[in-house]
A and B are shown apart, each in its own frame.
Chain A
């Protein structure tokens, strides 16, 4: 029934942010750590778009990097299609790497400026020995360029000859070259202009339909997420505070933080909806508040919220981590 492609359990990432050893000894300071991601569990189903929303410091990019193996795990476990990633040897890992890819935020940094576009797109093909001959590879690169709405002739150009939107298309072509099933999209449109953002978002949806892709979509923009995602997870200070179906989350947000975010969305439809700027700012993640980390900004916080960390409560439409939301 639930065909889970990626299953993440109790994912935690701790960064060491303390000063160098010598300074620490002289200044008599303790080691400082930062829990960028704290006990996050989620499952991404085959063919869906799962979105992670959060502000800076919420740990959304850290989760993305851990899932694709660019960052190690401090604790927890990631299963890809039922395979525990930590149990794989080199050859098995290599085979699995073909099956997931990533699209990055900044199209100006994600393409090697010294390489021609066709070499950039062909790199995964070469790495995974996907096409037997040079001409097969070239044909595949041309196919990919056309798939993302570019001309096959664009392959001989350098990245700087393209606009931001076109570069993001090239990055998508590269991500698709190894025929992955799962693509992690880390804020793929936040560096683009709105009219170009629409092109990229539409392209990503078309590709999903055509190739049956599964997306993990990371964004800070709730409107974009609303447009793209089947299910949405809301992150606050490294913790997943709410997971719900896309429509449900917008119709009936349960966590006070989600409500706060929704209220801050500008009223572009001119419906006269009152936009309420949220209170307070995100606390320093090195020194997070006690109990529920959201309690200093929470309008319904109680004494309990200051002392205890709430646990996850599941229901039909999703899950939420909040004492009060569950009671209500």
Chain B
């Protein structure tokens, strides 16, 4: 238990709009061990990115953290003043975003950005910082790092840029990296490169990772555990292998069946009817009930609580009742 780096408990993020209050994240809880890669997966609008932003305190009005706690290395961080939170973000949390171009300042060379970040966190000379920067670029797999370090972001290709962003995120030796769709904007053949660089770098630098993505393939390659979000709520969380091979929640089952794989037999993909409800008209019971073939009256009436099933934790009435879905 002492090895828990991040503890998120009953996190609720609300957005007040003119149509009332939207609960984008509804009582999401999870722990992140040191050195672990946790995947947050879900469809667009499931609340995965907002969960990530809430952890690092980057929810802008009209959104707000309405309830719950976030602890980083024992310290509660969800209620810190903006200025303090900024320091924590700089020192302990690194971020990698979907679009590498927007995470880098186009007006400064890669060297300037890396050196500046290193110098704000470490008391070393400029020369040492530059050497450290070259070392980092070399580690993330940028060829001829000592020559390319003075290039500007636009001179790098998309994949190389994302490598630079990873190097930048690791500059301050953070304890936690939040990677929000780090491979979505990249080509297929580059995606797996970035996934493996991210995974290797974080384990070498001892950083824990929250990997936010809609792509189960990326999760399968990189994550240790995976949390499946549906309509702002946790559907299922457990070790990647178990969740992918033996999903418990009907949504996870449907999701896994709907992904075409190269070894697939048969013509039709499993399909989940309908689409995720908009946050404005989330059903009163289990959010997945309207699309669930096995839904009972209890599913339509009340929101299921999370129960441990084997290695996973699942929120489903059917499982609580029967132990497991057949």
Residues on A facing B (Cβ under 8 Å): 55-56, 163-166, 193-199, 201-202, 205, 220-224, 226-227, 250, 260-262, 264-271, 275, 277-278, 281-282
Contact = CB atoms under 8 A, between A and B. Distances in A.
B134 interface: no
A197 B271 CA distance: 9
Interface stretch (B50-58, B96-104, B185-193): B185-193
B82 interface: no
Contacts of A260: 189
**8 closest A-B pairs (Cβ-Cβ)?**
A266-B217, A198-B258, A227-B260, A193-B43, A198-B269, A55-B187, A277-B192, A278-B189
B43 A224 contact: no
A198 B270 contact: yes
A193 B268 contact: no
A264 B192 CA distance: 6
B260 A166 contact: no
Nearest to A203: B271
Nearest to B263: A269
Interface residues of B, number: 43
B241 interface: yes
14 contacts: A195-B258, A195-B275, A198-B257, A199-B272, A202-B271, A226-B260, A266-B218, A266-B220, A268-B244, A268-B261, A275-B192, A277-B193, A278-B190, A281-B189
Nearest to A206: B268
A166 B275 CA distance: 9
A199 B270 CA distance: 8
Interface of B: 43-44, 157, 159-160, 187-193, 195-196, 214, 216-218, 220-221, 241, 244-245, 254-264, 267-273, 275-276
Contact of B275 (A196, A202, A268, A277): A196
B221 A266 contact: yes
Given A264-B188, A277-B192, A282-B187, A194 B214 contact: yes
Given A202-B271, A227-B269, A250-B262, A261 B217 contact: no
Contacts of B191: 264
Contacts of A221: 188
Contacts of A202: 268-269, 271
B260 A224 contact: yes
Given A194-B214, A267-B220, A223 B259 contact: yes
A265 B217 contact: yes
Given A193-B44, A194-B258, A281-B159, A268 B187 contact: no
B220 A220 contact: no
A168 to B, nearest CB: 11
A194 B192 contact: no
B220 A194 contact: no
Given A195-B255, A201-B260, A278 B192 contact: yes
Contact of A222 (B193, B254, B262): B262
A270 B259 contact: no
A281 B160 contact: yes
Nearest to A265: B262
Contact of A194 (B159, B221, B255, B262): B255
- Listed residue (A166, A250, A266, A277) with the most chain B CB atoms within 10 angstroms of its CB: A266
- Listed residue (B262, B268, B270, B276) with the most chain A CB atoms within 10 angstroms of its CB: B262
B217 A270 contact: no
B155 to A, nearest CB: 12
A271 B264 CA distance: 13
A198 B272 contact: yes
B216 A194 contact: yes
B236 to A, nearest CB: 15
Given A55-B188, A55-B189, A261-B188, A270 B245 contact: yes
A261 B192 contact: no
A205 B266 CA distance: 12
- Listed residue (A194, A198, A223) with the most chain B CB atoms within 10 angstroms of its CB: A194
Given A202-B268, A222-B188, A278-B189, 6 more contacts: A164-B44, A194-B258, A198-B269, A226-B261, A227-B260, A227-B269
B263 to A, nearest CB: 6
B188 A268 contact: no
Contacts of A166: 275
Nearest to B42: A193
Given A198-B271, A202-B269, A281-B159, A266 B258 contact: no
Nearest to B187: A55
Contacts of B264: 223, 226-227
Contacts of A277: 189, 192-193, 195-196
A260 B192 CA distance: 11
Nearest to B222: A266
Contacts of A220: 187-188
Nearest to B194: A277
Contact of A205 (B267, B273, B276): B267
A205 B268 contact: yes
A269 B245 CA distance: 7
A136 to B, nearest CB: 31
Contacts of A222: 188, 262
Nearest to B258: A198
A267 B272 contact: no
A201 to B, nearest CB: 6
A271 B256 CA distance: 15
B221 A270 contact: no
Given A198-B269, A202-B269, A268 B258 contact: no
